[in-house]
Amino acid sequence: MIAHNFEYIVPTSLGDAVNLLQKHAGRAKVLAGGHSLIPMMKLRLAGPEFLIDIGRIPELAYVKEESGRIRIGALTTHHTIQTSDVVQRRLRALADAAALIGDVQVRNKGTIGGSIAHADPAADYPASILALDATVVTLGPKGERQLPASKFFVDMMTTALEHNEIVREIQIPVKDGRTGSAYLKMAQKASGFAICGAAAIIELDDSGVLSGVAIGITGVGSHAFRANKTEAALKGQRPAPDVLKAACDKASDGIIALDDIHASADYRLDLARIYARRAVEAAIERAG
Ligand SMILES: Cc1cc2nc3c(=O)[nH]c(=O)nc-3n(C[C@H](O)[C@H](O)[C@H](O)COP(=O)(O)OP(=O)(O)OC[C@H]3O[C@@H](n4cnc5c(N)ncnc54)[C@H](O)[C@@H]3O)c2cc1C
């Protein structure tokens, strides 16, 4: 199908973009990589009257490490995240997620800001973003807001973003010491989207006990979630196979799973348990 008519506007600064969003409130959409929004418009699931293309605002694309955290600009592409030296060294789960998104064209154009603002329940990043305790920084007419990832993803295709706000950056605290992280997924074969994806971030103390565990799951429910019961069951334990299995069997407890042509709800709940365990095992291996 062909999209509804729209006016295309290209601001060159972040301030201009926010002003335009405010001016055309409720009738405008931000365009980043276009790999989710353009298909939605062509299917007429979205019909903005104004498209505000932020793709030419260079101040939105960066990966920086400073003061114990990594800051990733909203316009940073999946390819840049996948290949960033800092992300590969410090946030392996996020680099893993970026590398597994779609295909090379999608990774070259799609952006992290666009992906999290879109909040597809099968998107890859949310699992890592939640497990890494990221903060989403937004900018709107009233200024900046800092939203913890746990408050950002609200429901299917729904975030805490106001209609006149732009995602500006994602901030992720870095952990020192013996730590490892990984993201693994079962992909839907045609699109690459996650039927189930799991990110694990673990910390080991000097005696090899799990002192920190964070697990994010995507693709299973209406939005990504933390496997809280598994995390609690693993903290303070030595990571023996039976301990991991018993704890990860709780990964999807209490979750209402999606049920569609790609996978039944029961299958997704099962995948969550299996992928949580595999992600934790991979994270432990990387921690050495
Ligand atoms: C064939 C194909 C396969 C794919 N496979 C995967 C996959 O395996 N895993 C996966 O996770 N994703 C996948 N995607 C989605 C892809 O990652 C998109 O790039 C991403 O979801 C959206 O990013 P974008 O920059 O393209 O955003 P756009 O399409 O430009 O925008 C998406 C939405 O976010 C809003 N938006 C964009 N940027 C901002 C911002 N800075 N602030 C506020 N709102 C903003 C837009 O208004 C729009 O509502 C796939 C897409 C395609 C076409």
Is 193 touching ligand 1 by the criterion CB < 6 Å?
Answer: yes
The count of C-alpha atoms lying within 13 angstroms of the C-alpha of 282, restricted to the half-sphere facing its C-beta, is 18
User: Where along the chain do its domains lie?
Assistant: 7-56, 58-173, 179-287
Provide the H-helix boundaries in the chain. Answer: 14-23, 37-42, 78-83, 85-90, 92-99, 104-109, 112-118, 125-131, 149-152, 228-234, 241-248, 265-287
Q: CA 80, CA 98: separation in Å to the nearest integer?
A: 9
Say how far apart CA 180 and CA 218 lie, in whole Å: 19
Tokens 């920084």 sit on residue: 137
Q: Is any ligand 1 atom within 6 A of the Cβ of residue 34? A: yes
Spatial CB neighbours of 210, under 8 Å, sequence gap ≥ 6: 202, 203, 204, 234, 235, 236, 237, 238, 239
CA of 111 to the centre of ligand 1 (A): 6
Report whether residue 80 contacts ligand 1, using a CB cutoff of 6 Å: no
Nearest atom in ligand 1 to 31's CA = 30
Phi and psi angles of residue 66, each rounded to the nearest 5 degrees, phi first: -155, 145
Q: Indicate if ligand 1 lies below 6 Å from the C-beta of 114.
A: yes
Yes or no: domain 179-287 corresponds to CATH 3.30.1360.200: no
Could you tell me the distance, in angstroms and rounded to a whole number, from the CA of residue 107 to the centre of ligand 1? 10
> Is any ligand 1 atom within 6 A of the Cβ of residue 121?
no
- Please identify every stretch of the chain with a pLDDT value under 70, giving residue numbers as ranges: none
140 lines ligand 1 (CB under 6 A): no
d(Cα 273, Cα 270) in Å, to the nearest integer? 5
| Residue 98 bridge partners (DSSP) | none
Check residue 25 and give its pLDDT: 87
Q: Which CATH fold would you assign to the domain 58-173?
A: 3.30.465
Q: CATH topology for 7-56?
A: 3.30.43
Would the pTM count as exceeding 0.85?
yes
Q: What is the DSSP letter of 287?
A: H
Dist. CA 176 → ligand 1 center (Å): 31
Question: In this predicted model, what pLDDT tens digit does every residue of 4-20 receive, in sequence order?
Answer: 999 999 999 999 999 99
| Residue 102 CB–ligand 1 contact under 6 Å | yes
